[in-house]
Structure 1
Amino acid sequence: MPLKFFLKLYLRLLGLAALVVVLCFTLFSGLNSVREQSWQEYYPAPLLRWLAAVPSPQQQYPWLLAHHDFRLVERGSLDASPLVQERLGYGQVVAVQTELGWRLLVLSPSGEVLEFLFRDTYREVAETAALIALAHLSEALPEDRDPLMAELSSRLAITLRPLASERDLPAEAVLGQVSERGIAFYRQGDSGRVLLRLADGSLVNLELPPRFDSWHWSVVLLLLFVAAGVMGAALLMLVRGVDQNLRAVESVAIRIARGELGARVEESGSTLVSRLASSFNGMAEHIQRLVGVQREMIHAVSHELRTPVARIRFGVQMLEGCDSAEALQKQLDGIDGDIQELDELIDEILTYARLEQGGPVFSLVETSVTDIVRQVVGEQQLIRPGIVIEADIAPGSEQWAMSDVEPRYIHRAIQNLVGNAARYANGRVRVRCQLDDDNCRVDVEDDGPGVPEEDWEKVFTAFARLDDSRTRNSGGYGLGLSIVRRILYWHGGQAFVCRSDDLGGARFSLVWPRKKSVV
């Protein structure tokens, strides 16, 4: 996987994670702000409405002023916003957060506003409810306590239960506080408890609803749904983009299957399948080139085969008219030469097709390039004694002579160039070999007419002939240089032609890496 693609994907994932965290935090804070406001009004509401219903709560419960920041104010002199005034008019309990705690307001039937300031709403409401219950239960007769506890539990939204056994007793520290104050607040699990000691020594347990939990299961579930939704949306966008790109590749593949070989996938650096698109386009280019080569070969082969076949047919017809053994042998030799020409042509076509359609299975071995050059020069000198063919090994090249090549095909490439140069040379061909640590270079020069500059690329095209008047004696089928270029291609190099500055004719050059790359 490319590092750039990995970093881009990694940064996107980090951005998505940061977005989910920020979104969940904002939602958590905003939602809990509303929930806490609602809880601060809902939880003390039964107690405040109880006190509001009492004609004179500070006289009936004289301990209120001592235990709490409590006061009665006229509604008209209340320092509150119009929204708070309106809510009080509807009989609602209103909670206003201040720097000192929560300010609880409720309107009494007489038109006065009861105002409490709770620093710890949960505990202070619990203790206030416990003191009210203690005052009423202590004054009641034992037989009246159970109905009274049921009424207080209903109106104050609490649960009052007498302790039935010693197993229900809390810790000794709680009992000690009860003996001193008459009540003791303690926690049991997620809820609070208040233990009351009545005037006759009876113990009553007051159970409270759970305190405000910012991590309630409904909040956690909502956050999970939001996080899953955001990640699902991001994944949908990612998959949708990949799907669109894959559909584009699929569409181009269908068009190519229908014969539109020029169809290509539009490449973009931002797509996740850009490498697939690039590889697909490379494959399409290769297929289009192979199909074009096959069409050219079919056309050219039919043209190349027509001439020797026609000569063979003519030679066979001439056999009937031969009236001497010498004439018969001449016709047979001509037919044999034409068959030999067909055999060579077929060998050239098969070699070119094998190289063009993916190449042979190259087995690169470390071989001396200078030895191959000398071998080719020696062989060609024997075949063409009338031409001076010389090898020119550059100074210092012998130490770099060992190269990773396929010896048979490199031999074939150099042989094709030397044979082609000897065919057109006036009298001299030079094969120059220059090797270094990185590259191998072989130049084949002649003193012939050379190749016009506008045809330097054309000569490497299959079945291309610059001189259409050539006969089989002047040689060639237009495949030799195409084979050379393909051999160099499979060695990771290239072949090109230019003019020879020294001999004046053509100079064909082969250049390829001396050592194969280590993957």
Structure 2
Amino acid sequence: MHPKPYLKLYLIILGAFLGVALVCFGLYQGLNSVRERAYLEALPAPLMSWVAAHPEFIGATTSPDLSGAWDFGIDARSELGAVELERLGYGQVIVDQDAGGLRWYMQLQDGSLLQLALDDPYRDLGEMSARLIARLFELQPGTSHGAGFADVGAALGVLVEPVVRQDQLPDQDVLDQLGDGHIGYDQPSASDPAQLFFRVHGEGLRSGQLMRVTLPPPFDPWAWPLLLLMFSILAAAVSGLVYLLLSRLHHRLASIENVVARIARGELDARVREGNQPVVDRLGYAFNSMAEHIQRLVGVQREMIHAVSHELRTPVARIRFGVQMLDDGGSDPEREKQLAAIDGDIQELDELIDEILTYARLEQGGPVLTLEEVNVSKIVRQVVSEQQSTHPKITISAPGVREQEDAALSDADPRYLHRAIQNLVGNATRYARSEVRVICHFEPETCRVDVEDDGTGVPEEYWDKVFTAFARLDDSRTRKSGGYGLGLSIVRRILFWHGGQAFVGRSEELGGARFSLVWPRRQPDLEAGERS
């Protein structure tokens, strides 16, 4: 498995993810800056609007007994811009940031500006609201300007309620803050609404009553609408990326499908074009290999049909002629001679058919090999013995093969390996003058068998064609020398299915041809436990 296509796909996805992350981060920063500004402007608006309607209470939040660390008052001067002044004219609260920090403005009816400066807006506004409500309890124990304190709390944007149950009490450290008219502040976490506690001072039934002021929730930078927007952007980006990748994949698969349809119509030379998608291109490469194999098989079949029709025509014609001679009658010796000739022609046809069937079985997908651990030395000696008895006029030897028997074990199909060596030795006997040698070489990883003869050899310009089926290299390879041009092709296919190769060259010692078989000693299909 090559890592390059997967690394490329990973980089594409990573780049898309980083791009979406940058877009989401930019949107997050931009939207939150707008949201936070709107929140900061809306947070003090109820308090400033109420104070603007009751300017006599402006000093209530900064009285000596209720002093705070904020700046709250009326300022007739302002250096605000035209847009800010226009917004103030519409009764809006605006926030501005200067060297001193955040400052809020609101325009009163007389045109002056009510301004507010805070260090910690959320906490300071809560304490201001609590101090103002506490001041109202002191000045008017019952009501304030005819409105109940619950209404005042609602007008200030907070919830005001007395502490009447045990579970409403804050922690002890918050209660400890309530001495000397101070405000107790309680906020369990930064995302929780803060609660402020104070005791009512002065005369009346409410004196000493513990009150609780609950503020609105603080600013949440991860509000669900923002998260929904980020999720929508991410989903859209993922959908776009998946669509892009699948569209390219679909285009490549459609091109392969088109080539398949063309081959089905008989256009065997159709091929898948190379692309820039390694994963799909591997499929295209495998398909092209399959198409080439199919085209080659079809070509071999056509060649075989033409060659077989030509090769069978001669013996069939001789048989027909012989039969006609028998029909004409004649002496018994002549009839016996004709019958012997007919028998030889029939034997020749049988051998030819066997060669054709073997070659077709090897060429069209290969045989089912029965791999086992065999002794190559014994097979070589068996072939030499069989061929020597068949060709007594030729000296056939295998020098040193018996001494190599202990190192001659290899994984192979004994029947097909015997056939390959037998074909080479039989081919050598047809062209040798007097001698054929079979030499074995056993290396740790490979086995090699060389078959050499002292004949005229194979011209070098024909070395690439010698293993071609039905090949006729020169006039010396005629029917008189025997063979049908399939023996060497069968040898090549047998070696191919064993993971090896067949070569042709020139014998240095005998001067004739040298055919070599090389294949691996061990086959991956044969498990160690199956070796015998």
TM-score, length-scaled by structure 2? 0.87
CA contact (8 A) 1:370 1:393 kept: no
Deviates more, 1:406-415 or 1:212-221: 212-221
Q: Provide the secondary structure at the position in 1 that maps to 2:268.
A: coil
1:500 equivalent in structure 2: 507
Q: Provide the secondary structure at the position in 2 that maps to 1:336.
A: helix
Q: Provide the secondary structure at the position in 2 that maps to 1:147.
A: coil
Cα shift at 1:357: 0.9
2:331 equivalent in structure 1: 324
Aligned counterparts of 1:514 and 1:169: Cα–Cα separation in 2 = 89
1:111 equivalent in structure 2: 111
Structure 1 residue 384 corresponds to structure 2 residue 386: no
Aligned counterparts of 2:269 and 2:118: Cα–Cα separation in 1 = 80
Q: How many residues align?
A: 517
Residue in structure 1 matching 2:298, options 279, 291, 311: 291
Q: Provide closer, same or farther for how the CA distance between residues 420 and 171 of structure 1 changes in structure 2, counting only shifts above 3 A.
A: closer
Q: Which runs of 5 or more structure 1 residues have no equivalent in the other structure?
A: none
Aligned counterparts of 2:162 and 2:431: Cα–Cα separation in 1 = 124
Cα shift at 1:515: 2.4
1:281 equivalent in structure 2: 288
Structure 1 residue 423 corresponds to structure 2 residue 430: yes
Deviates more, 1:341-350 or 1:415-424: 415-424
Query: How big is each residue's C-alpha offset from its partner over 1:266-301, in whole Å with a ceiling of 9 and x where there is no partner?
Result: 344643323322222222222111111111111111
1:42 equivalent in structure 2: 42
CA contact (8 A) 2:95 2:103 kept: yes
Structure 1 residue 343 corresponds to structure 2 residue 350: yes
Aligned counterparts of 1:419 and 1:496: Cα–Cα separation in 2 = 16
CA contact (8 A) 1:126 1:194 kept: yes
CA contact (8 A) 1:137 1:145 kept: no
CA contact (8 A) 1:397 1:436 kept: no
CA contact (8 A) 2:87 2:94 kept: yes
Aligned counterparts of 1:405 and 1:269: Cα–Cα separation in 2 = 41
Q: Which runs of 5 or more structure 2 residues have no equivalent in the other structure?
A: 528-532
Aligned counterparts of 1:269 and 1:493: Cα–Cα separation in 2 = 33
Aligned counterparts of 2:182 and 2:443: Cα–Cα separation in 1 = 104
Deviates more, 1:334-343 or 1:155-164: 155-164
Aligned counterparts of 2:444 and 2:476: Cα–Cα separation in 1 = 44
Aligned counterparts of 1:173 and 1:390: Cα–Cα separation in 2 = 110
1:147 equivalent in structure 2: 147
Structure 1 residue 88 corresponds to structure 2 residue 84: no
CA contact (8 A) 1:460 1:481 kept: yes
Aligned counterparts of 2:236 and 2:443: Cα–Cα separation in 1 = 63
Q: Provide closer, same or farther for how the CA distance between residues 91 and 425 of structure 1 changes in structure 2, counting only shifts above 3 A.
A: same
CA contact (8 A) 1:438 1:513 kept: yes
Cα shift at 1:477: 1.0
Deviates more, 1:386-395 or 1:241-250: 386-395
Q: Provide the secondary structure at the position in 1 that maps to 2:485.
A: coil
Q: Provide closer, same or farther for how the CA distance between residues 145 and 492 of structure 1 changes in structure 2, counting only shifts above 3 A.
A: same
Q: Provide closer, same or farther for how the CA distance between residues 5 and 452 of structure 1 changes in structure 2, counting only shifts above 3 A.
A: same
Aligned counterparts of 1:245 and 1:38: Cα–Cα separation in 2 = 52
CA contact (8 A) 1:53 1:109 kept: no
- The one-letter code of the counterpart of 1:191 is P
Cα shift at 1:344: 0.7
CA contact (8 A) 2:469 2:489 kept: yes
Q: Provide the secondary structure at the position in 2 that maps to 1:194.
A: strand
- The one-letter code of the counterpart of 1:74 is A
- The one-letter code of the counterpart of 2:325 is M
Q: Provide the secondary structure at the position in 1 that maps to 2:219.
A: coil
Residue in structure 2 matching 1:191, options 170, 179, 193: 193
Aligned CA RMSD, in angstroms, stands at: 3.1
- The one-letter code of the counterpart of 2:482 is G
CA contact (8 A) 2:195 2:215 kept: yes
2:498 equivalent in structure 1: 491
Cα shift at 1:151: 4.3
Q: Provide the secondary structure at the position in 2 that maps to 1:142.
A: coil
Aligned counterparts of 1:512 and 1:60: Cα–Cα separation in 2 = 104
1:363 equivalent in structure 2: 370
Aligned counterparts of 1:436 and 1:24: Cα–Cα separation in 2 = 65
Query: How big is each residue's C-alpha offset from its partner over 1:58-107, in whole Å with a ceiling of 9 and x where there is no partner?
Result: 456652994222343333xx344554344334432222345765322222
* Deviation beyond 6 Å, 4+ runs, structure 1: 143-146
Aligned counterparts of 1:271 and 1:462: Cα–Cα separation in 2 = 36
Query: How big is each residue's C-alpha offset from its partner over 1:357-407, in whole Å with a ceiling of 9 and x where there is no partner?
Result: 111111222222222222222221211111222223489855532222222
Cα shift at 1:485: 0.6
Aligned counterparts of 2:84 and 2:112: Cα–Cα separation in 1 = 14
CA contact (8 A) 2:61 2:67 kept: no
Query: How big is each residue's C-alpha offset from its partner over 1:166-224, in whole Å with a ceiling of 9 and x where there is no partner?
Result: 66454555555446326444347832333454433145443332221122222222223
Residue in structure 1 matching 2:272, options 254, 261, 265: 265
Aligned counterparts of 2:406 and 2:60: Cα–Cα separation in 1 = 116
Q: Provide closer, same or farther for how the CA distance between residues 146 and 420 of structure 1 changes in structure 2, counting only shifts above 3 A.
A: farther
Residue in structure 1 matching 2:72, options 67, 70, 73: 70
Query: How big is each residue's C-alpha offset from its partner over 1:100-132, in whole Å with a ceiling of 9 and x where there is no partner?
Result: 653222222222222222222122212222333
Structure 1 vs Structure 2: percent identity of aligned residues?
A: 52
Cα shift at 1:434: 2.2
